[in-house]
């Protein structure tokens, strides 16, 4: 492989173009941003592997500790939902349902702009899990008003 055929040649050419067009300080800023993004990605993956992934033994230990609580607090999660949020709704609800701590309630305030199909799915989920409560607004109201109603 010849020197100029190396894969990083494109990056070197791009760096030269940035320096020529925007100056050396802009090149440094952009380089630092790219390097931080790469470092953060690796750091987050490493953190997730170490702390955010529970094995069966750890899950059992947590479940045992939760069972020992005589009367743990109930945690209310208030979630206003507008038309744009309907896409992420299922994943968010599944995430809440998969929590190890069982004493929670999910209070969902649905804006009238949400299409009917997600609303039907929400009503089905609410019938299946009594911890999910839904309030629907036909008119468009503020997020604060929806959260207060939930």
Number of domains the chain is built from: 2
Element (H or E) spanning 24, and its range?
A: helix 24-51
d(CA 132, CA 108): 7
Give domain status of residue 86, yes or no.
yes
DSSP letter assigned to residue 23? -
**pLDDT reported for residue 64:** 92
Give domain status of residue 58, yes or no.
no
Q: Write the DSSP assignment of 62-106 as a string of letters.
A: HHHHHHH-SSPPPEEEEEEE-GGGGGGHHHHHHHHHT-S---EEE
- Kindly state the average pLDDT of the residues 102-119: 79
| 76/30 same-domain check | no
| 30/78 same-domain check | no
Give domain status of residue 61, yes or no.
no
Tell me, what CATH number does 145's domain have?
3.90.550.10
**pLDDT reported for residue 115:** 67
Q: pLDDT band for position 144 (50/70/90)?
A: confident
Q: Is the pTM of this model over 0.85?
A: no
Q: pLDDT band for position 9 (50/70/90)?
A: confident
* Under 8 Å between Cβ of 129 and 121: no
Check whether 105 has a pLDDT greater than 90.
Answer: yes
Give domain status of residue 56, yes or no.
no
Single out the residue of 77, 75, 76, 81 nearest to residue 136, CA to CA. Answer: 81
Give domain status of residue 8, yes or no.
yes
Give domain status of residue 32, yes or no.
yes
**Phi, psi for 2 (deg, rounded to 5):** -75, 155
Domain extent for 29: 3-51
Check whether 13 has a pLDDT greater than 70.
Answer: yes
- Kindly state the average pLDDT of the residues 12-38: 85
Order of strands across the sheet that contains 75-81: 75-81, 104-110, 132-136
């Amino acid at each position: 492989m010849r020197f100029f055929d190396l894969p990083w040649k494109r990056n070197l050419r791009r760096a030269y173009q940035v320096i020529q067009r925007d100056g050396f300080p802009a090149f440094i800023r952009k380089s630092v941003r790219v390097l931080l993004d790469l470092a953060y990605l690796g750091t987050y993956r490493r953190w997730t592997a170490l702390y955010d992934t529970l094995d069966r033994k750890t899950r059992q230990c947590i479940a045992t500790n939760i069972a020992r609580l005589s009367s743990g607090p109930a945690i209310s999660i208030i979630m206003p939902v507008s038309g744009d949020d309907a896409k992420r709704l299922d994943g968010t609800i599944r995430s809440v349902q998969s929590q190890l701590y069982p004493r929670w309630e999910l209070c969902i305030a649905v804006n009238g702009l949400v299409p009917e199909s997600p609303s039907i799915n929400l009503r089905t989920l609410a019938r299946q899990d009594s911890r999910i409560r839904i309030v629907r607004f036909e008119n468009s109201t503020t997020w604060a008003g929806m959260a207060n109603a939930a």
